[in-house]
A and B are shown apart, each in its own frame.
Chain A
């Protein structure tokens, strides 16, 4: 204790941080190397902000102003009138639309609704199935244990290519093709990446908690729902956030499997595809893209610590 205090006073005296070690001391050459890398990272980091700047600026221009700037090679020019530019957002929300197969029209609010339903079903299905399978395989020994674990590893490491055709045909046969409920069944896979993460989590939770519940007269269900599942909530949260981000940005699956229920991503893709020389309203389209980007950025900003922490703590352990 006394030694620690002495060390702390020494650190204070030499203006060093508590966790300072030889690792934080850098030679002159190392300082140059780190300086160069810092400069490269800085430029690259700025380039990562460009999409926001590009979208933000151009979504606030009117059609003519954008066309003039584009022609002049000046897409990063500031908009003339920001308040007027905000009308693009109103237009995108009220007027931007996609034509359905049967002549129906789908507007942006409906696309947002479709996105939320699609993601909700997808997250619920995948997390439910993964946690059911991962818990059973992590905590119980039974006859099919080895076989089921083998399935999980086999499905993940053996590349089976080109099953999309059969998958589309299956969706037709099951009657889930072109419905909002399409994603429920395919997402209910308990042997994917989510399984591995949750399997590791459940394995690390001591079984003594369960024994205490059994002594108090509780059953296996009580142990799972009231003890184990809440303890795995950090892993569930991380998986849920990643699924949300992935699902929100996914445009190919909704395009292929539920064409009449476009999500925001697939809907905006269709909007851009429908542009002709006469009706291409790019500023409004950019406003739509901006509206689609905001939710994921908000979710990421709110949970970035959780994501980074879970990656750095629970990264792949070989």
Chain B
């Protein structure tokens, strides 16, 4: 009996020692990342919340000056934020309704091994690796009033680009940047769709083909439902990044010609090239952020709920 008790106690001690080692190991592994999260997520967001209710000059708290400014800018015709919001929505819907479907189609043809697909896959991915400064510079010279596009438009449609250029007029500036975004918008999304398609069992597609299924039916009625898990994730991620939708505004116009977006507005309120890099409108930016977060959270939860209504196919 005594022997059994000693054995049990010994085993328990060994177990305790091993558990203690495990706990120490986990503590050592996680302590720094958790501290980082506490500072860069919890403290940062709490501070952002406090800043939203603080007055810039006096530091008074709580005040609602920032909310008044944000509301005024949002509701005034041609207000900075109202223009930025409209443009942001334009970029978002271009991404959602044009770029995403185009990525899906491209991924489908790569999956079907269209001639030269390996080369195209790399070429289509290039805008994701080349600096946008290079892409923007090339695009600007292409659409310049003295550039190749102007000659092409004149030859085909007898249309001449105004001498001041497309980026110096509010009617054309944002639309031109939108076209740039479509031009450079393939890449990562296309690879994700390609990855999802690569996992579809070939037997399913083979039997459909034997039944006489054409490419459009194959894409919309077979492949699309089979990759729904990836598509819905991409849609959720797209909505999550709605507020940061936009193009390289800084490189194209620096916000001129009514091209500002919400993310550029934030940047412009914080960065100033002439003041050692700082413009310092922390309070206004935090307030705007709080307002849009309050709108975005329910929207994202709704989108997630909506996506869950269409269950993914298991295979």
Contact = CB atoms under 8 A, between A and B. Distances in A.
Interface of A: 21-25, 27, 29-30, 33-34, 37-38, 41-42, 44-45, 47-51, 54-55, 70-73, 75-76, 101, 129, 132-133, 135-136, 140, 142, 144, 148, 151, 155-170, 178, 185-186, 188-191, 219-221, 224, 245, 248-249, 251-252, 255-256, 259-260, 265, 268-270, 272-273, 286, 289, 292-293, 296-297, 300, 304, 308, 311-318
Majority DSSP secondary structure for residues of A touching B = helix
B147 interface: yes
A51 B134 contact: yes
A45 B115 CA distance: 13
Interface in B184-210: 188, 191-192, 194-196, 198-199, 202, 205-206, 209-210
Contact of A265 (B41, B43, B133, B148): B133
B226 to A, nearest CB: 11
B251 interface: yes
Contact of A75 (B147, B240, B280, B282): B147
B116 A41 contact: yes
B40 to A, nearest CB: 6
Contact of B36 (A76, A159, A185, A270): A185
B293 A160 contact: yes
Contact of A159 (B137, B241, B250): B241
Contacts of A51: 130, 134-135, 137-138
Contacts of A133: 29-30, 33
What is the predominant secondary structure among interface residues of chain B facing chain A? helix
Given A132-B32, A313-B195, 6 more contacts: A54-B137, A162-B266, A162-B286, A165-B286, A168-B282, A251-B131
Contacts, number: 298
A162 B131 contact: no
In the A-B complex, the 10 residue pairs with the closest CB atoms: A162-B289, A315-B195, A318-B229, A259-B277, A190-B33, A165-B282, A165-B285, A166-B48, A220-B25, A73-B146
Given A45-B120, A269-B133, A318-B233, A165 B276 contact: no
Nearest to B147: A73
B15 to A, nearest CB: 13
B113 interface: yes
B278 A293 contact: no
Given A162-B293, A165-B283, A49 B277 contact: no
Contact of B205 (A23, A38, A297): A23
B40 A186 contact: yes
Contact of A312 (B120, B144, B191, B277): B191
A82 to B, nearest CB: 20
B133 A44 contact: no
A41 B119 CA distance: 10
Interface stretch (B71-79, B92-100, B121-129, B169-177): B121-129
A22 B209 CA distance: 7
B304 interface: yes
Nearest to B234: A316
Interface residues of B, number: 112
Contact of B131 (A156, A224, A260, A265): A265
A140 B214 CA distance: 48
Contact of A55 (B138, B236, B273): B138
Nearest to B43: A170
Contacts of B41: 151, 155, 191
B256 interface: no
Contacts of B312: 318
15 contacts: A21-B206, A51-B137, A162-B286, A162-B287, A178-B277, A191-B33, A224-B29, A251-B131, A252-B250, A256-B267, A256-B270, A296-B131, A315-B191, A315-B194, A317-B199
Nearest to B41: A155
B83 interface: no
B257 interface: no
A311 B270 contact: no
A73 B148 contact: yes
B183 interface: yes
Contacts of B22: 140, 220
A157 B240 contact: yes
B165 to A, nearest CB: 13
B35 to A, nearest CB: 9
A136 B300 contact: no
A54 B233 contact: no
B16 interface: no
Contact of B281 (A47, A165, A270): A165
A129 B36 contact: yes
